[in-house]
Chains A and B, each alone.
Chain A
Amino acid sequence: MINRLYISDLYLIITIQILCFMKKVLKKIRFRNVSENFSDSEMKHIIGGGYIGTGYGSSCYSSSGSCHSSCAFIDTLGNPHSGTCTDVGSNICACVS
């Protein structure tokens, strides 16, 4: 009797654990459950490539090592932007427009 109870409890615990794990996994935002994904043309307008700076010589960093208050940059498509230099930690100063 005790043994049977013990095994059934064990099954229950394992099942709960699996369900908890699955809930945790399924809850995650994955590419499969993205409902409003960008189209190709929308993605072409999300540009990266070089207006974030680290340390010496970047547009966003002063020689004293602190972020400037404002910054300007031209993106890879040639469009001008202005923004605020934001210290995002890890010695990175990002120009956030």
Chain B
Amino acid sequence: MKKTGTTLVAFLNLLGVKHTQSFSGQYFNEHPHKYNLFGLSKMLADYGIENAATRISDKENDITEIQTPFIAHFGGDFAIVDTVEPDKISYIWRGIRHSSPTAKFIEAWSGVVLLAESSGKSIEPDYREHRKAEQISLLKKTAFISALSMIAVITYINQSLYADGGISILLAINLAGMYISWLLLLKQMKVQSRYADKICSLFKQKDCNNVLESEGARLFGIIGWSEIGFGYFSVNVLLLLFSPAPITIIALINIFTLPFTLWSVWYQHSKAGQWCVLCLIVLALLWAMFTANILFGYLPLAEFFRLNSPFSTFSFQFAITASCYCIAMLGINMLVPKLNTEETVQLLKQSINSIKADEDVFTAILKKQPFYETGDCDSVIRFGNSNSKLQLTILSNPYCSPCAAMHKDIEALLTKVNNDISVQYILSSFNENLNSTNRYLIAACLSDNTAFARQIFRDWFEKGKALKDAYFKKLSLNMDNPEIEIEFRKHESWKDKTQIRATPTVLVNGYQLPENYKIEDLRYFTDLDL
């Protein structure tokens, strides 16, 4: 589900960068540095957006000179400034557009800005795959809703319900109620909905969240009014479509909802101090239902007086209908937390990621790991910046599948850190017959063409593995170079010295990479002094 619009999503929208809401939202929510400017800068860089952060010293004069959109450090949070005029500024904060007098904005702005510029190359990583997944998900939802709608329409026509104006009007009211309650449920689950936001922003307070997050949003603090509302309207629709007989009972139960409408108006006005537009629409629909019931004569008092007999048909029907409401409301109440686990998972992931990305935490964990003496001369198979503070040594096997997957991760890491880490490979093999492959790969690295060697490694792990030594035939490598055998023996003696046999094994400055860390996590430690 799409989560509430994040700073990243809003900024990507303004820059016109191709992205999917679901991935961008999740990427932001799980990012270890989502709360600081470094994180925002790195995220934009991952989308191929060049950016730089600076402090504007002359805030009053320079604010109109900054290229929009930009991210401003505002009131201790980040806001995306969209348009700046001498007297008015428009910005997006937490997914909602605001407008303030420029002077007031400047008061709360620290002067720090993150400036960014997209180009033709700016795009979400793996955009096509994410877009496809999003479209399939949309297709599934559409098919589900279409099937439900078809059943409803066929029933409506088949049972000639259109002939009864009262039922048609009640159906329309309850369908509207279902939709508005659904929007309220989405709000409760903090799922983004453009329509809900638009309706909620009809009044001055910009959103309905303050009312929906207040104590009064839940009956006895247990079951949300939005859950009750959705259950209530859904049952009404089902009963009207499939069992129009207990319409008198629906009308009677509707009367019981009316005191709630008075309490809700009082609560929003006197306690919350703000109006929730979606809630007000629900209240209006309850009264519209009551009016329709009176107008179409669904409230015959004579029926109610028959209630004195506990075993009358009416009493049975009343009990069954009331049970239907209970089942729907409690069912939704139990289902909502399950649907909402994604948010909890993202929160947990972000917490773990932020702990893992802490330099002190990483250093402490890393230094408890087994240590092996490593150095620059261990291997000629080196990629990236050999002068980097972060030195990775990888014991790999050209024929092992996890090693191939690891190489893909290494390639991705090198790209993300602009090759600003050092990676050296020590090669191992399953048996002596396969040693020739190691020699070919060493020969490629001895060719003094790093780009060529890197490409061969990439191709080998991607597709060359299956061809075995035949892969190298067309490359015309100089296999007569005596350095190849020397290098090969060096790798063998390194393995004997360290006694490491498992492949792939990753050493970070000599320390074995902790199990809880992945290769991609190392991107935040390029400047780490170990």
Contact = CB atoms under 8 A, between A and B. Distances in A.
Nearest to B76: A51
Contacts of A54: 205-207, 210
Interface in A23-55: 27-32, 34, 36-38, 40-52, 54-55
Contacts of A69: none
A88 interface: yes
Given A52-B76, A56-B272, A63-B273, A76 B35 contact: yes
Given A27-B65, A37-B52, A91 B204 contact: yes
Contacts of B115: 29-31, 34
Interface in A55-97: 55-57, 63-65, 73, 75-77, 81, 83, 86-92, 94-97
Contacts of A40: 38, 527
A28 to B, nearest CB: 4
Contacts of A83: 76
A49 B204 contact: no
B273 A86 contact: no
A46 B37 contact: yes
A57 B126 CA distance: 40
Most chain B beta carbons < 10 A, residue from A28, A41, A97: A28
Interface stretch (B93-101, B234-242, B486-494): B93-101
Interface string B262-285: 000000000011100000000000
Nearest to B33: A44
B76 A97 contact: yes
B83 interface: no
B206 A29 contact: no
A92 B7 CA distance: 17
Given A31-B116, A91-B206, A92-B100, A86 B73 contact: no
Q: Binding site of B, secondary structure by majority: helix, strand, loop or mixed?
A: mixed
Contacts of B272: 56
B62 A43 contact: no
Contacts of B55: 36, 38
A56 B38 contact: no
Contacts of B62: 29
B50 interface: yes
Interface string B342-361: 00000000000000000000
B104 A37 contact: no
B36 A48 contact: yes
Interface string B109-129: 010110111000000000000
A26 to B, nearest CB: 10
A79 to B, nearest CB: 11
Contact of A28 (B52, B67, B74, B101): B67
Given A46-B37, A94-B75, 8 more contacts: A31-B52, A36-B54, A38-B55, A55-B210, A83-B76, A86-B107, A88-B105, A91-B204
19 contacts: A27-B65, A32-B117, A36-B55, A37-B53, A38-B37, A43-B36, A44-B33, A44-B38, A46-B37, A46-B53, A47-B36, A48-B37, A49-B35, A54-B210, A76-B35, A86-B75, A90-B99, A92-B93, A96-B108
Give 9 nearest A-B pairs by CB, closest first. Answer: A94-B75, A89-B100, A31-B115, A49-B35, A43-B38, A90-B98, A76-B35, A46-B37, A48-B78
